Amino acid sequence: MNDLMVIAPILLPLMTLILCLGLEMSGKRTGMVSLISVGVTLAVATGLVMRVASGGTLTMAVGGWQPPFGIVIVADLLAALMVWISAFVVLAVMVYGVKGRGHGHQSGHAQVLIQGLLLGVNGSFLTGDLFNLYVWFEVMLISSFVLMVREKGIKQLGGGLIYVILNLLASAMFLCGAGMLYGELGTLNFADMAVKLSAVDDPAFVNTTGSLLFVAFAAKAGLFPFFFWLPASYHRADPALSALFAGLLTKVGVYALLRTFSLVFTDANGFSSDIILYISMATMIVGVLGAVAQYNVRRLLAFHIISQIGYMVAGIAIGTPLALASVIFYTLHHIAVKTCLFLVGGVLEMRTGSPDIRTHGGFYKTDPWLAVGFLIPALSLGGIPPLSGFWAKLNLMQAGVDTKEWLFIGVGLGVGILTLFSMVKIWNESFWKDAPEGMERNSLWPGKPYAAIFGFCCLTLVFSFYGKFVFGLCEDAADALHDPRVYIESVMGGEDK
Partner 1 sequence: MKSHLLLVASRFLSWPFFILSIWILYRGHNLPGGGFIGGLVGASGFLFYDLSGYGRPKQGFFSLKPFSFLTAGLGTAVLSGLPGLLAGKGFMTAFWLPGFKLPLLGSVHLGTPLVFDIGVYLTVIGFILLLADTLAEEEKL
Partner 2 sequence: MITVLCILIGLIFAGATFCLLRRSLMRVLIGILLLGHGVNLLLLASSDPISRNVAILGEDGLPTAAGSADPLPQALILTAIVIGFGLSVFTLVLARSAYMRGGSDDMRELEREEEV
Q: Which residues bind partner 1 (CB under 8 A)?
A: 3-4, 7, 11, 14-15, 17-18, 21-22, 24-25, 60-65, 70, 73, 105, 496
* Residue 152 touches which member of partner 2, partner 1, none, C-beta under 5-8 Å by kind: partner 2
Among 18, 32, 43, 168, binds partner 2 (CB under 8 A): 168
Cis peptide before 321 (omega within 30 of 0): no
Provide the 3-class DSSP secondary structure of residue 488: helix
- Evaluate whether 191 touches 491 at the Cβ level (below 8 Å): yes
* Residue 159 touches which member of partner 2, partner 1, none, C-beta under 5-8 Å by kind: partner 2
* Residue 152 in contact with partner 2, rule: CB under 8 A: yes
- Evaluate whether 7 touches 61 at the Cβ level (below 8 Å): no
Residue (186 or 436) nearer to partner 2, CB: 186
* Residue 200 in contact with partner 2, rule: CB under 8 A: no
CA dist 252 and 259 (Å) reads: 10
Cross-strand bridge partners of residue 74: 59
Burial of 362 (0-12, 13-18, 19+ CB in 10 A): middle
Among 33, 175, 384, 439, binds partner 2 (CB under 8 A): 175
Among 179, 362, 472, 494, binds partner 2 (CB under 8 A): 179
Q: How far is the CB of 63 from partner 1 (least distance, A)?
A: 4
Dihedral sign of CA atoms 13, 489, 132, 166 in order: positive
Where do runs of H (alpha helix) occur along 361-405? 363-366, 368-382, 388-402
CA dist 53 and 401 (Å) reads: 29
Q: How far is the CB of 28 from partner 2 (least distance, A)?
A: 26
* Residue 145 in contact with partner 2, rule: CB under 8 A: yes
Residue (145 or 374) nearer to partner 2, CB: 145
- Letters for 286-325 (x = contact with partner 2 by CB under 8 A, - = none) are ----------------------------------------
How many other C-beta atoms lie within 10 A of the C-beta of residue 176? 16
Residue (145 or 454) nearer to partner 2, CB: 145
Residue (295 or 432) nearer to partner 2, CB: 295
Residue (52 or 60) nearer to partner 1, CB: 60
Task: Specify the DSSP element, H or E, that contains 83.
Answer: helix 77-96
CA dist 146 and 151 (Å) reads: 9
* Residue 146 in contact with partner 2, rule: CB under 8 A: yes
